[in-house]
Amino acid sequence: MARLSLEERREAAIAATLRVIAADGVEAATTRRIATEANMGQSSIFYAFASRDELLAAVVEHGVAQELDSMNEWLETLADAPVGDTPMEDLVRAGLLAFAENAITEPARQQVLIGLALYARRTPGLEYLAERLYDGYYDVAARVLDESARIGGRSWSQPTAELAPTVIALSDGITLCWLGTGSRERVNAVVESAVTLILGYLR
């Protein structure tokens, strides 16, 4: 077997950790279990990461990067949209549906990130992982709000950095709705309620 580079070991360990957490939760993601899943020795895990906590942090960063990539693809489709031609209601709905599509197409990733956030919050010393995850989400939400306002030719009654946590709370609800019910009809109903709430922050 060819010797793996450091980056290849890191990528293999992250992918294995995601699979283990998706299957059995964060508590099951021991370095031994991760090494077995990745088909490598535990020494390779510790060569790539100083500790299990550092590996979990890398998993969080990987998940946030994937979320950012998904939303960036959606934002790029709006880059050339004429200002004022699209109703704000349609823009906000499209943004929320883009969030929803992440949950629908990548449910395992969403389960992993939710599990990591909850685990981090109740584990002393790891709280920063949940904060890092949600800071990434808030950045994405603020960008979506900024782009929607630009294209819609409108403005928000509060800074988008302050509105972002509300948007993410709504997107979390949409995600949990899908994970809990698997019903697009119910997801769409939650999205419509969220659209109404967010539009209430327009000037």
> In the prediction, which pLDDT does 189 show?
96
DSSP per residue, 91-111: HHHHHHHHHHHHHHH-HHHHH
- 50 CA to centre of own chain: 25
Where would I find the H helices in the chain? 6-24, 31-38, 42-48, 52-78, 88-105, 107-121, 127-152, 160-181, 184-199
> In the prediction, which pLDDT does 1 show?
42
Give the bridge partners for 156, in sequence order: 202
Beta carbons within 8 Å of 54's beta carbon, 6+ residues apart: none
**CB of 73 within 8 A of CB of 49?**
no
- The reply to whether the predicted model has a pTM over 0.85 is no
- 140 CA to centre of own chain: 9
Domains, the chain, in order of start with CATH, read 1-49 (1.10.10.60), 57-199 (1.10.357.10)
Segments of the chain scoring below 70 in pLDDT: 1-2, 78-79, 81-82, 84
Residues 149, 158: Cα–Cα separation, whole Å: 12
